Structures are given as C-alpha cells and as structure tokens.
Structure 1
Amino acid sequence: MTAPTSPNRPGAASALRFVTELVAWVATPWALAPHSVALAVASVVVLVGLPTVFATPGDKPRVMVPAPGPVTVGLVLLQLVAAVVSSWLAWPAPVAAVVTALAGLTVVLEVPRWRWLLGRDRTGQPRRA
C-alpha cells in the first residue's frame, strides 16, 4: 500500500523552505567556524544529512529511512532555528532581520504540510488513536 501524499508540492512554501535551508547551511558553519572548524563541518553534516536520510513516506518521492511525521517537522524546525540564530550570530542585523522574516513566513506557509505530517506514522499512514 502506498502512503497518501502530503500537501508538499512545488510552490511558495517549498521555495521558501528551501531558501531558508540554504541560509541555515551557510550561516551555521559561518557562525561556528571562528570557534571550531570541526563544529562548522559537523553542522553541515547534521543540517544536510539528517533531512536527506530521514523522511516521512508520502511527503517525499524517495525515502531512505522512514520517519514519523513529527520527526520531519522537527527537522524543518531545526533548519529554521539554525538559520535564524546563526544569521544573528554571523551577519549584520539587517540581513539577520530578513532571514528572521523569511523563516517566519516559511512557518506560516508550512502549516498545512505540518498538520498533515503530524498525523502520520513512519509508514506515512494516518496515526491510530
């Protein structure tokens, strides 16, 4: 049985989520590198690697390791928080303010997808009560 598909379709929410992920991938190692190059590299491995490996069936076309919907939501939140916090640590305030607004708008547009994900188990099927 195939998993029902999520509202994760190409559009504004997906585009903003991707841009915010890119910011997290750049800003986090940028903020960490002056303190520890190893931490900077590890941050990229975590921010890129975890969402690549763990996903909820039905939300992405290919899933390496099936994860329940709340895990996918948590990974998106990790990216958003990393983008915001790291941008404030690494970049001038006006740039960080734009990143913060971008992340806020991403959250608003992600709500339908998150509602769908929060109701899914690791197979992508609706959770049983």
Structure 2
Amino acid sequence: MDRPDDRPDDRVASVLRFTTELIAWVATPWALASYSWVLAVLSVVVLIGLPTVFSTPGDKAQVMVAVPGPVTILLVLLQLAAAVTAAWAVWPVWAAVVVSVLAAATTVTERRRWLWLLRRGV
C-alpha cells in the first residue's frame, strides 16, 4: 500500500533491510578487528553514520543532508555488501549462507522503494 506522498510502505522490506543493516554493523567490525581496531571502529562510523547523515527527502522523517535517491540506494547496497562479505569472512558457512539469502531477499523486497527513490531528486 502506498502512502499519500506515493512512497511505498512495505513493512517486510523494512524489516529485512534493518536486519541486514544490524548484521553489517556487527559482522563488519568483527571481520576488520583482526586487522585493525581503527578500521573496525571506522566501519561502524561509515555504516551507521553515512545513512544517518545522508538521506533522500521523503524517505526519512528527518533529513540532515539531502541526497538524490540513487545515493540512498548505493548506501543500502553498501550495507548489503558489507553484511555478506563480513559474514563469509568471520562466521560459519551456514550463517554466511543465511546472511546471503537475507541480503538477496532484501534486494528483491526493496524493488518498489528503489524505483521510487530513482524518481526522487534533491
């Protein structure tokens, strides 16, 4: 169902996206910690900070720095890639497979939102 402002309202997509983001926030610093604690901390700053600061108007209630829709899509893809890559680096195969399937499902369920974001300029 669409909201009055035509933004897709898909709870399943939101839950899958948030779950994948949480995995990225945990697994990425875990994977980087063996190389450098600075990189581990920096990964959290990037994965949480960038989407918090940069967002597309209408996609979030509050926008700090407005960016076009494709930038928001790239930030989501960054989260998905980080979650999958880090899961394969540090977790057992069965867990990495689950994360990969979750990321694929997120990509499929995000289609409507991404199409909406592609039409959004700043």
- TM above 0.5, one fold? yes
Q: Count residues in correspondence.
A: 118
Equivalent in the alignment of 1:71: 71
Describe the shift of the 1:76–1:119 C-alpha distance in structure 2 as closer, same or farther (beyond 3 A).
same
Percent of matched pairs sharing the same residue:
62
Instruction: Tell me the distance in 1 between the aligned counterparts of 2:7 and 2:75.
Output: 16
Instruction: Tell me the distance in 2 between the aligned counterparts of 1:92 and 1:119.
Output: 39
TM-score in terms of structure 2 length: 0.94
Shift of 1:5: 4.8
Give structure 2 stretches of 5+ with no counterpart. Answer: none
Equivalent in the alignment of 2:45: 45
> Which stretches of structure 1, 4 residues or more, deviate above 2 A after TM superposition?
none
The structure that is helix-richer by fraction is 2
Equivalent in the alignment of 1:116: 116
1:5-34 CA-to-partner distances (Å, cap 9, x unmatched) read: 521x35100000000000000000000000
Give structure 1 stretches of 5+ with no counterpart. Answer: 123-129
TM-score in terms of structure 1 length: 0.89
Contact 1:5 1:59 in 2 (8 A): no
RMSD in angstroms over aligned alpha carbons? 0.9
Instruction: Tell me the distance in 1 between the aligned counterparts of 2:62 and 2:20.
Output: 22
The amino acid across from 2:41 in the alignment is: V
Instruction: Tell me the distance in 2 between the aligned counterparts of 1:74 and 1:114.
Output: 10
Q: What secondary structure, in the 3-state scheme, does the structure 2 residue paired with 1:99 have? A: helix
